[in-house]
A and B are shown apart, each in its own frame.
Chain A
Amino acid sequence: MNVPQNLRYNASHEWVLVEGDTATVGISDHAQEELTDVVFVELPALGKTVDVGDPTAVVESVKAASDIYAPVSGEVVEVNPAVEADPSLVNTDPYGKGWIFKLKIKDAGQLDTLLDAAGYESMIG
Chain B
Amino acid sequence: MSTIQSSPLEALHLRLGARMVPFAGWNMPVQYTSIMDEHAAVRTAAGIFDISHMGQFIVSGPGALDWLNRMLANNVAKLEAGQGQYSFLLNERGGVIDDLIVYRTAEDAFFLVVNASMIDKDFAWMAKHQPEDVAFSNESALWAGMAVQGPESAAVFAKALPGHGLPPRNGIARIAAGGGEVVVCRTGYTGEDGFEFFCAAGEGEAWFEKFIAAGAKACGLGARDTLRLEMCYPLNGNDLSPERTPIEAGLGFFVDLDKGDFIGREVLAKQKADGPALKLAALEYTDKGAPPRAHYPLLDAAGNVVSELSSGVLSPSTGKGIAMAYVPAALAKPGTALQVDVRGRLFPAKVVKKPFYKPAAAKA
Query: Mostly helix, strand, loop or mixed at chain A's interface?
Result: strand
CA gap between A39 and B31 in the complex, in Å: 16
Interface centre among B30, B289, B291, B343 (most CB of A within 10 A): B291
A12 to B177, CA, bound (A): 51
Judge whether B290 and A62 touch: CB under 8 Å.
Answer: no
Interface residues of A in 17-59 (CB under 8 A from B): 36-37, 39-40, 42, 58
Q: Do B34 and A36 touch across chains, with their CB atoms under 8 A apart?
A: yes
Q: Mark B30-43, 1 if CB is under 8 A from A, else 0.
A: 11001110000000
Interface centre among A39, A40, A42, A58 (most CB of B within 10 A): A39
Alpha-carbon gap, A37 to B34, bound state (A): 7
CB distance from B121 to the nearest CB of A (A): 26
Name the one of B35, B290, B291, B314 contacting A36, with C-beta atoms under 8 angstroms. B35
What's the Cα separation between A89 and B154 when bound, in Å? 37
Q: Which residue of B lies closest to A88 (CB)?
A: B36
Minimal beta-carbon separation of A38 from chain B (angstroms): 10
Flag if A39 contacts B291 (CB, 8 Å).
yes
Q: Are A58 and B35 in contact (CB under 8 A)?
A: no
Residue pair B314, A39 in contact (C-beta under 8 Å)? yes
Bound state CA distance, A37 and B39, in angstroms? 12
Using CB atoms, name the residue of chain B closest to A87. B314
* Chain A minimum-CB-distance residue to B33: A36
**Bound-complex Cα distance A62 to B31 (A):** 11
Q: Are B35 and A65 in contact (CB under 8 A)?
A: no
Partner of B313, one of A42, A58, A62: A62
B293–A65 CB distance below 8 A: yes
Interface size class of A (residues with CB under 8 A): 10 to 19
Asked whether, in the complex, the Cβ of B222 is within 8 Å of the Cβ of A62, the reply is: yes
Contact with A along B338-350 (1 / 0, CB 8 A): 0000010100000
CA of A65 to CA of B291, assembled, Å = 9
Contacts of B293 in A (CB 8 A): 65
Bound state CA distance, A87 and B199, in angstroms?
Answer: 42
Instruction: Please tell me if the beta carbons of B36 and A37 are within 8 angstroms of each other in the complex.
Output: yes
Asked if B226 is an interface residue, CB under 8 A from chain A, the answer is yes
Q: Is the CB of A62 within 8 A of B343?
A: no
* A63, B30: Cα distance in complex, Å: 9
Q: Which B residues from 5 to 49 make CB contacts under 8 A with A?
A: 30-31, 34-36
B290 with A60: CB separation less than 8 A: yes
A42→B31 CA distance, assembly (Å): 24
Q: Which residues of A contact B316 (CB under 8 A)?
A: 62
| Across-interface contacts of A65 in B (CB, < 8 A) | 290-291, 293, 343
Measured in the bound complex, the distance between the Cα atoms of B226 and A39 in whole Å is 13
- Per the bound structure, the CA–CA distance linking A40 and B314 in Å amounts to 9
Contact of A58 with B34 at beta-carbon distance under 8 Å, contacts A39-B314, A63-B222 already known:
no
Contact B343 A36 (CB under 8 A): no
A40 with B34, Cβ < 8 A, contacts A58-B343, A62-B313, A62-B314 known: no
Query: Chain B contacts of A39 at CB under 8 A?
Result: 291, 314
From 252 to 308 in chain B, residues with beta carbon under 8 angstroms from any chain A beta carbon are 289-291, 293
Q: How far is the CA of A5 from the CA of B30 in the complex (A)?
A: 33
State the Cβ distance, A43 to closest chain B Cβ, in Å.
11
Given known A-B contacts A37-B36, A39-B314, A40-B314, A60 and B31 have beta carbons under 8 A apart: no
Shortest Cβ distance from B345 into A: residue: A42
Task: Please measure, in the bound complex, the distance between the C-alpha atom of A9 and the C-alpha atom of B363, giving whole angstroms.
Answer: 50
Inter-chain CA distance A62–B222, complex, in Å, is: 8
Q: Could you mark each residue 78-99 of chain A with 1 if its beta carbon is under 8 Å from any beta carbon of chain B, else 0? A: 0000000000000000000000
3 A-B pairs with least C-beta separation? A62-B35, A37-B36, A39-B314
A-B contacts besides A58-B290, A60-B291, A62-B226, 15 pairs, CB < 8 Å = A36-B31, A36-B35, A37-B34, A37-B35, A39-B314, A40-B291, A40-B314, A58-B343, A60-B314, A62-B35, A62-B222, A62-B313, A63-B35, A65-B293, A65-B343
Q: Which residues of A contact B (CB under 8 A)?
A: 36-37, 39-40, 42, 58, 60-63, 65
6 contacts across the A-B interface (CB closer than 8 A): A39-B314, A40-B289, A42-B343, A62-B36, A62-B222, A62-B226
